[in-house]
Amino acid sequence: MRRNRLAALALTISAIAIPLIARQATPAPKGTPSPGADHHDRQPQDIFKVLPLGGGVHALFGRGGNIGFFVGPDAVLVVDSQFKDIAPGIVEQIRKVSDKPIKFLLNTHHHGDHVGGNEIFKQFAMIVAHDNVRRRMLSSPADIQRDYPAMIENAKKAGNEQMVKNLSDQLEWAKKVRVEEIPAPIMTFDSELRIYIGDETIQVWHLPPAHTDGDSVVYFEKARVLHMGDDLFNKVIPFIDVKSGGSVKGYLAALDRVLGRVPADAKVIPGHGEITDVGGLKSFRQYIADLLDAAQKAKAAGKSKEDFLNEVDLPAYKDYDGYKTRFKANAGSAYDEAR
Residue with smaller CB distance to Zn ion, 14 or 188: 14
Q: How far is the CB of 247 from Zn ion (least distance, A)?
A: 14
Residue with smaller CB distance to Zn ion, 108 or 276: 108
Residue with smaller CB distance to Zn ion, 244 or 276: 244
- Please, which residues have CB within 8 angstroms of residue 254's CB and are 6 or more apart in sequence? 207, 208, 209, 210, 215, 231
Q: How far apart are CA 306 and CA 41, in angstroms?
A: 31
Q: How far is the CB of 121 from Zn ion (least distance, A)?
A: 18
Q: How far is the CB of 294 from Zn ion (least distance, A)?
A: 24
Torsion-angle region of residue 135: left (phi > 0), alpha (psi -120 to 50) or beta?
A: alpha
Q: How far apart are CA 26 and CA 45, in angstroms?
A: 16
Q: How far is the CB of 240 from Zn ion (least distance, A)?
A: 10
- Please, which residues have CB within 8 angstroms of residue 33's CB and are 6 or more apart in sequence? none
Residue with smaller CB distance to Zn ion, 174 or 210: 210
Q: How far is the CB of 111 from Zn ion (least distance, A)?
A: 3
- Please, which residues have CB within 8 angstroms of residue 288's CB and are 6 or more apart in sequence? 248, 251, 252, 255
Residue with smaller CB distance to Zn ion, 86 or 338: 86
Residue with smaller CB distance to Zn ion, 64 or 72: 64
Q: Is 62 helix (H, G, I), strand (E, B) or coil?
A: coil
Q: How far is the CB of 266 from Zn ion (least distance, A)?
A: 21
Q: How far is the CB of 60 from Zn ion (least distance, A)?
A: 17
Cα 162 to chain centroid distance, Å, stands at 23
Q: How far is the CB of 291 from Zn ion (least distance, A)?
A: 18
Task: Write the single-letter amino acid at 330.
Answer: N
Residue with smaller CB distance to Zn ion, 10 or 338: 10
Residue 87: C-alpha distances to residues 61, 62, 169, 249 (Å): 12, 10, 21, 34
Residue with smaller CB distance to Zn ion, 233 or 335: 233
Q: Is 221 helix (H, G, I), strand (E, B) or coil?
A: coil
Contact residues: Zn ion, CB under 5 A:
111, 230
Residue nearest to Zn ion (CB): 111
Q: Is 142 helix (H, G, I), strand (E, B) or coil?
A: helix
Q: How far apart are CA 60 and CA 102, in angstroms?
A: 15
- Please return the burial class of 75, using the count of CB atoms within 10 Å of its CB with bins 0-12, 13-18 and 19+: middle
Residue with smaller CB distance to Zn ion, 76 or 108: 108
Q: How far is the CB of 26 from Zn ion (least distance, A)?
A: 17
Which helix H or strand E contains 68, and what residues bound it? strand 67-71
